[in-house]
Structure 1
Amino acid sequence: MLVQEATTMIVPTTAEVLVVGAGPAGLAAACTLRANGVEVVVVDAAPEPSTSSRAIVIHSRTLEVMEGLGIVEGVLKEGLIIGEGLIRNRQGILGSIGFAALKAKYPMVVSLAQADTERILKQRLEALGGSVHRGAQVVKVSENEDGVLVEINTSDSTSYIQTQYVIAADGRKSCIREQLGIPFEGGGYNHQFILADIRLLRTGPLRPDVFQEFLSPANLLLYIPLPRNIWRVVATVDHATGEEDMSVFQRLTDERAGPGVKIDEMMWSSRFRIQHGLAARYRKGRVFLAGDAAHCHPPVGGQGMNIGIQDGVRLSNILTEALHDGKTTEADLDRYERERRPIAKDVVALAHQGTVINTLESPVLCVLRDWVIWALTKIPPVRYAIAYRLSGLGYA
């Protein structure tokens, strides 16, 4: 395989597998393929990697998968280990989720900026002899007798890649999924989310090894610690302008968490209207969907990047068997959808339920919700079951 840096814009003309998208799912897929001895090319439309934190939660099952990828040591070294999550309202703690109690090799949650996770994956890919070709936009995929012909536009030319299989890991608005005509079934929510990475002058009730969720009628506030004394703050609002400054996050913190937390600096912020969705199919011919191209969900529970990475690894092992062992029947190739789509469906439902529960508008229902959380999390098996489900260990 021809290996070139992204700035050259030179993309190979052939590959056994083409991975479209250099996010966590695409990079995990590429690393797995290279480790399995498969000729893989990775392209991404963005000219540069993103530097924003975005997805920051890595669960126990994903850490196990990362061990197989050869990156878990780097993730644990750079990330921040979180052993517990607290659910609160203004009156106090309603309940806790104990990740440190998980019966697993990695009984924890790790918080790490997505940009750092992608960098670690990319370094692993390069160590395996691969690379990412940036500024390369896929405009058309078409099957032929030799596999799939993919048309790619760069800043100064149009080129073609002939490949056996394509992994479309090109995000929630996947152009490949749209080209294939695969429906994306789901819906949206009334609330918008705003988020920021901040530094604190005073931490109040916050702890550097615990994430804390503050509930109030119709509103949610979440504080998650990150490495280097940074905190991710997430809040629901009825309408976001995109110009929310530090004072907005301070006001929402005062209103929902109470006094004691003082924001000192804001490094990055964003807004988004959350959605949930699931592709009707994960495969059409020799083209497969992975990660956000196949499913999207609210950030509650921090599931998206995790199952995307797991998608990429499982799909790549199936394609390795197709290429190296001749497992190319419809039933062989459909294993990916049969295995992974039910998991995504369950995770989408989990995140949807969590979002609805966390943003109840009725004060009466909120009181009932808070009482139920308080009562259930006093029962050790229930508390363990919540941590276990969020961890993804049940999907191993």
Structure 2
Amino acid sequence: MRKLLYLTFSMALIAALTTYAMWAADRPVGHYLSDLRINLAVDQGTPADRGNLLGIQPELFPTDYQSPERLHRKLAAYLQKAQDQGLLNDKTVVVLPEHIGTWLMVSGEKDELYQASTLKEAMNWLAASNPLEFLRALASAKGDSRMDDAHLRMKAKDMAKNYQALFGGLAKEFHVTLVAGTIVLPEPSVSDGRLKIGRGALYNSSVVFGRDGLPIGQPQRQMHPVFDQQDVIEADEQHSPNVVDTPAGRLGVLIGSDSWYPDNYRKLDAQGAQLVAVPAYVVGRGTWDKPWRGYKGLSTPSSVSLKAGELSEGQAWHRLTLTAQPPSSQAIAGISVFLRGQFWDQGSAGQSFLSSNGQHFVDGNSRGARLLNLWL
């Protein structure tokens, strides 16, 4: 009798595991509708032969990431619109927002993940659908938030591959220099023209792709992640901001809150940066108009007198972004581009803006995808 019970239990367990494995491996592609429209919100300056800075503020949702091909379709539609309006040339530098590459972590997943009502629920589906990958990532996770670390780390190799194929491909397809927003990866680096990952801490990083689709220089790692990211994302304060040569001039990248630190602009000036790109992301619908929360647990630079709550979030971004404001920054122009859309219950805020001659040029309408162009 005992043997019969063991046999029955074993067969039931095998059946359950087989069913689970088949369910986890199944990746049906659901019906997809997405708004490919984008409006030219700001067109500043006069066309010349010096090129232009073009910011793309997309409006993205989880289903846009169901496959790299879907995301390519949407971003290519935005770039095609810019090309049709005469905004792309051999000297154009296109800038995308922060974390546009990070959400590649949910690419190729089951419908249940995209239909989840909360980010937490979506991450539970991510782990349940990839049990072996998640357990391996959890075993090597670092920091205080090991679950969040594992969610980001578990598909890092595929994320890096898709990130380069997608954004490098867009740069080559439209023959532009592309600041590919950011992506969170473990110890990212470029070797022999390929973006690779390591086994160490996670960094929020940006890669610039040239017109040939290949990375220019090394990934720029974020130096000052905001407080609510510090349990997962490592700060890289040991290195100066990268400056790379582009057809439009020498370009520096400051990721998100890195643009709040005056010393970073001095470091860019020392390297002869003429242009500054700021990929950014502000979490929470309506946050842009709420009181600024300060440096969010980070040390406030001694030269900054602005206190939390004195201005709105948007006003603080304009005050703290010093691009093209001599003597604080010797760059001739800059652009700050924010990610917009809705990722489950996590809304977004932020209105992208251009910086030139000590002024900021911003579109007052934050709805829908937007193009912001500055002729140099």
TM over 0.5: same fold? no
TM-score bracket, shorter-length normalisation: under 0.3
Q: Which has the higher strand share?
A: 1
